[in-house]
């Protein structure tokens, strides 16, 4: 009977229940439970398994640059990272309020890692997240315009509750990319959230976007009431080369 039960659990894809029941039988713990305790144990195992698989799927489809966590961020005064600010952002209520986060600092300072860490936390909490390198994203959107898949790609971006644009401003926007950026920002404004990382200070974003009227419209929507993190100090990549055992960012 137990073999048949296990087989049916597996075929119904109740993998949490399957492994919990199988483990309980192998260790002889089924006799330690009352009927309702055993049922609660199996349901809890199934719940945990589904939650873990949901988180794994969310992280997989987010396409993060780094496997990052808030706990692994290297906090110190010289980097100008406020631990309390990071922890407040990690509860992801800024996403519920449709607020943005702007992270600036020199190359190698850890901007992408901090953005990815908060993105991972958002996945754990059940938000739809997508990470994208800004130059690669707009190159992809140009190709989508050419092959007729642009509407599909734009709809995918709009569905994300948190969109992370990494390396923003690494190259100037041309007219087509500028129009696509305006469309993305307009579609998301007041509905979803952005995290943007950039080597450039925000004051330089006007020049990178170009076309003053459009730049004003874009930045008014991005910057207004946004949270800001301005990282300082020396490159974390150089530090890792000097201290290869250091896994913190």
3-class SS string, 71-129: HHCCCCHHHCCCHHHHHHHHCCHHHHCCCCEEEECCCCCCHHHHHHHHHHHHHHCCCCE
* Cβ count near 45 (within 10 Å): 20
pLDDT in tens, 30-46: 777 888 888 898 899 88
pLDDT in tens, 136-189: 999 999 999 999 999 999 999 999 999 999 999 999 999 999 999 999 999 999
- Per-residue model confidence (pLDDT) at position 87: 95
What percent of the chain is predicted at pLDDT more than 90? 66
Which of 101-105, 149-153, 168-172, 239-243 has the lowest average pLDDT?
239-243
- Per-residue model confidence (pLDDT) at position 19: 87
Considering the chain, tell me which residue range(s) the CATH 3.40.50.300 domain(s) occupy.
63-242
Backbone angles phi, psi at 247, to 5 degrees: -105, 5
Q: Which of 96, 112, 93 is nearest to 104 (CA)?
A: 112
3.40.1350.10, 3.20.20.150, 3.40.50.300, 3.40.930.10: CATH of 63-242: 3.40.50.300
- Per-residue model confidence (pLDDT) at position 153: 95
CA distances from 66 to 81, 199, 226 (A): 19, 18, 24
Largest separation between any pair of C-alpha atoms in the chain: 74
Average pLDDT in the chain: 90
- Per-residue model confidence (pLDDT) at position 243: 55
- Per-residue model confidence (pLDDT) at position 10: 87
DSSP string, 191-234: TSEEEEEESS-GGGHHHHH-SHHHHHHHHHHHHTT-EEEE--SS
Q: Which of 231, 237, 236 is nearest to 77 (CA)?
A: 231
């Amino acid at each position: 009977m137990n073999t048949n039960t296990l087989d049916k659990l597996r075929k119904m894809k109740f993998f949490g229940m399957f492994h919990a029941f199988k483990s309980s039988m192998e260790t002889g713990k089924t006799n330690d439970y009352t009927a309702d305790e055993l049922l609660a144990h199996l349901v809890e195992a199934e719940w945990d398994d589904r939650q873990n698989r949901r988180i794994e799927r969310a992280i997989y489809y987010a396409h993060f640059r780094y496997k990052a966590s808030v706990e692994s961020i290297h906090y110190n005064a010289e980097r100008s990272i406020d631990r309390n600010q990071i922890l407040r952002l990690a509860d992801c209520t800024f996403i519920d309020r449709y607020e943005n986060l702007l992270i600036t600092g020199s190359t190698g300072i850890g901007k992408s890692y901090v953005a990815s860490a908060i993105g991972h936390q958002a996945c754990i909490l059940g938000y739809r997240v997508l990470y994208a390198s800004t130059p690669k994203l707009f190159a992809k959107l140009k190709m989508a315009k050419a092959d007729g898949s642009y509407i599909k790609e734009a709809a995918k971006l709009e569905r994300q509750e948190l969109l992370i644009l990494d390396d923003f401003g690494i190259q100037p926007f041309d007219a087509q990319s500028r129009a696509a950026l305006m469309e993305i920002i307009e579609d998301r404004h007041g509905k979803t959230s952005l995290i943007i990382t950039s080597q450039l200070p925000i004051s330089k974003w006007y020049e990178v976007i170009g076309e003053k009227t459009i730049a004003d419209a874009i930045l008014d929507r991005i910057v207004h009431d946004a949270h800001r993190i301005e990282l300082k100090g020396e490159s974390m990549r150089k530090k890792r080369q000097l201290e290869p055992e250091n896994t913190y960012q």
